[in-house]
Chains A and B, each alone.
Chain A
Amino acid sequence: MREDDRLGPEPSDSELVRRGRSGDDAALSTLVHRHHAAAYRVALSLTRDDDAAQDVVQDAFLKAFRALDSFRGDAAFRTWLLTITANEARGSLRKSGRRRETALEDAGPVRSEDVDPAEAAVRSQESARAREMMEQLPEKQRMSVSLRIDEGLSFKEIGQIIESSEGAARVNYFHGIRRLRELLR
């Protein structure tokens, strides 16, 4: 690691990609630590299986890093990686030919120290139910809601990942949200 990297702000993805191309393993490791959680959630949203999702994430990173020279930087590295992840997940589903249900405990709420225990228990139930209802959404609506809320992606980025236009991604998101509200009433 160079002196200015230790003192300055965290390197951008573009910078890490450039270093990775030059054979810097530490740069690739940083990219993994930065994006593996989002990749896992995308993979889990499609495969609905923890083991399969972890395999998908590993394969997606291997594919992305092998093809790093062909990454032109038109899209953000994260969007490119998540697109590869979604494709890997779809391939995994085709291979297995089945979809297993994700255990509810895998979708547990994030704990907060500031919340009253009784209130936290109620919120935990609400969260579990919301995720359970999300499983009932069609794939593109579920992916759009997850990518927008969990990962904060723009509709343009979501469109690339779900293989739709930006407008279709927006429509899928709002339809998904409306459907969830109906299901949770």
Chain B
Amino acid sequence: MNDALCEVVREGIPDVVSGRSSGEGAASVEGHLVTCEECRAEFELARTLFASRPRVPARLAARVVSAVQRDRTTRASPWWGLSAAAVAALALGIGISSDSPAMRDSEVPNYAYEVEEGALWLSDDGLLAGAPSFDALSDEALAELLDELAVGTSPGGSL
């Protein structure tokens, strides 16, 4: 066993078992293996490992080529990217519709209650409502209503 020679041989073993090294280099390694048990054991291990390389899925290359082509087409067409972004934004908008739980549970902002002062009407049940429209009343019905109101507010009234 020659340490210096063994070191050189052991570095070259992977190239011999894989067939990447041939000719004089390979012959030199193989010649050394005849006399060196340690290097021969390492050669056998390397050969076993090389022979058991993991199998590559048959469709992998086609899958990658297809993905690369899709990617290049997409990147070559910026409008396609913008369209995709617009669709995503639209989908997001639909997701946040007014009947969503997020909207129901959210606090209603103050401006939602802002109504012009004269348009408020206090109902009998104490709730605020919009002022009634008198446009639909006939002249006779309107006169009766005004009479009732006048009675209710006159100093000599029953109220």
A residues with CB within 8 A of B: 25, 28-29, 32-33, 36-37, 40-41, 44, 50, 54, 57-58, 61-62, 65-66, 102, 106-110, 112, 123, 126-128, 130-131, 134, 145, 148-150, 152, 174, 177, 180-181, 184
CB distance from A65 to the nearest CB of B (A): 6
User: Which of B58-66, B84-92, B108-116 faces chain A?
Assistant: B58-66
Residues of A within 8 A of B68 (CB): 25, 28-29, 32, 61-62, 65
Given contacts A130-B45, A184-B45, 14 further A-B contacts (CB under 8 A): A36-B56, A44-B54, A57-B60, A57-B64, A58-B67, A108-B52, A110-B52, A110-B53, A123-B51, A149-B18, A149-B49, A152-B18, A177-B42, A181-B42
Whole-angstrom CA separation of A134 from B49 in the bound complex: 9
Residues of B within 8 A of A37 (CB): 56
CB distance from A23 to the nearest CB of B (A): 8
Secondary structure type dominating chain A contacts:
helix
Interface string of B39-57 (1 = CB under 8 A from A): 0011001101111111111
For A110, the closest partner residue in chain B by CB is: B51
Given A62-B68, A177-B42, A130:B54 Cβ within 8 A: no
Whole-angstrom CA separation of A65 from B42 in the bound complex: 38
Question: Residue B20 at the A interface, CB < 8 A?
Answer: yes
15 pairs from A and B in contact (CB 8 Å cutoff): A29-B68, A32-B65, A40-B57, A41-B54, A44-B54, A54-B57, A58-B64, A62-B67, A62-B71, A65-B71, A108-B55, A128-B52, A152-B18, A177-B45, A184-B45
Given A29-B65, A40-B54, A174-B10, A149:B46 Cβ within 8 A: yes
CB distance from B67 to the nearest CB of A (A): 5
Select the residue from A33, A40, A145 with max chain B CB neighbours within 10 A.
A40
Contact A106 B50 (CB under 8 A): no
Question: Residue B147 at the A interface, CB < 8 A?
Answer: no
Whole-angstrom CA separation of A145 from B83 in the bound complex: 48
Question: Residue B72 at the A interface, CB < 8 A?
Answer: yes
The one of A106, A112, A180 that contacts B45, using a Cβ cutoff of 8 Å = A180
Residues of A within 8 A of B65 (CB): 28-29, 32-33
For A111, the closest partner residue in chain B by CB is: B51
Contact A130 B64 (CB under 8 A): no
Contact A127 B42 (CB under 8 A): no
